[in-house]
Chain A
Amino acid sequence: DGGITQSPKYLFRKEGQNVTLSCEQNLNHDAMYWYRQDPGQGLRLIYYSQIVNDFQKGDIAEGYSVSREKKESFPLTVTSAQKNPTAFYLCASSLSTGGLSNYGYTFGSGTRLTVV
């Protein structure tokens, strides 16, 4: 079955550590996205990538970094500069990009990150 796989499902980070969240898709989608979800705040866009080797900052990119070396993969690193990283992180992908955005998004099952 085609889909998006996020791993791990749960992740614990110590203060000052960088951690990387994995997102892999086998849908042959062009665009990939990272969202953060906090209670009462809805989903907020962190980074997105419309093509391999290119990505753009979303609304809350500070303290995060990404790479897009392969079409299938879009890992998110939560750096020590992110002051409040405890949240639910969702990865998504979409077939079309740019102005011809007629396709919907497909989401992964999420990674819950907790600072300990």
Chain B
Amino acid sequence: KQEVTQIPAALSVPEGENLVLNCSFTDSAIYNLQWFRQDPGKGLTSLLLIQSSQREQTSGRLNASLDKSSGRSTLYIAASQPGDSATYLCAVREANSKLTFGKGITLSVRP
């Protein structure tokens, strides 16, 4: 059974810092990996989608990488801002079309 792990559960950084959020998964037979952002009490907003054949995707200050063979993905946030404070979740999609989520990393960016 696929397991997705995100460590640490919470992170606090000063504004302007570059940071990396980690995600690991146990079964490398995935179709894609997706990073989401969730604000308190809200739904999930998709940030980046990486296909299994890709190594990375970029959107603005965000860069996500995927190493399928080692079961790892990272989300890099450049020049963090207080508005980046949220919970970040990664999820992997498998052949049965199901999405398995990590528990998320709650990020706090201090002004």
Residues of A within 8 A of B (CB): 6, 31, 33, 35, 40-43, 45, 48, 50, 58, 88, 90, 92, 94, 97-99, 101-110, 112
Partner of B99, one of A33, A40, A102: A33
Contact B43 A107 (CB under 8 A): yes
Contact A40 B34 (CB under 8 A): no
How many B residues, CB 8 Å from partner? 24
In the assembled complex, which residues on chain A have CB atoms less than 8 Å from the CB atom of B75?
none
Residues of B within 8 A of A (CB): 31-32, 34, 36, 41-46, 49, 51, 89, 91, 93-95, 97-99, 101-104
Contact A58 B41 (CB under 8 A): no
Contact B97 A31 (CB under 8 A): yes
Partner of A40, one of B49, B91, B103: B103
Contact B43 A101 (CB under 8 A): no
In the assembled complex, the Cα of A41 lies from the Cα of B89 at a distance in Å of: 12
A43, A48, A92, A110, most chain B CB atoms within 10 A: A43
In the assembled complex, which residues on chain A have CB atoms less than 8 Å from the CB atom of B99?
33, 45, 92, 105
Chain B min CB distance to A34 (Å): 12
In the assembled complex, the Cα of A24 lies from the Cα of B44 at a distance in Å of: 16
30 contacts between A and B (CB under 8 A): A31-B97, A35-B101, A41-B103, A42-B89, A42-B101, A42-B102, A42-B103, A45-B99, A48-B97, A58-B98, A92-B99, A97-B97, A98-B97, A99-B95, A101-B31, A101-B32, A101-B94, A101-B95, A101-B97, A102-B31, A103-B49, A104-B34, A104-B93, A105-B34, A105-B46, A105-B91, A105-B99, A107-B43, A107-B45, A109-B43
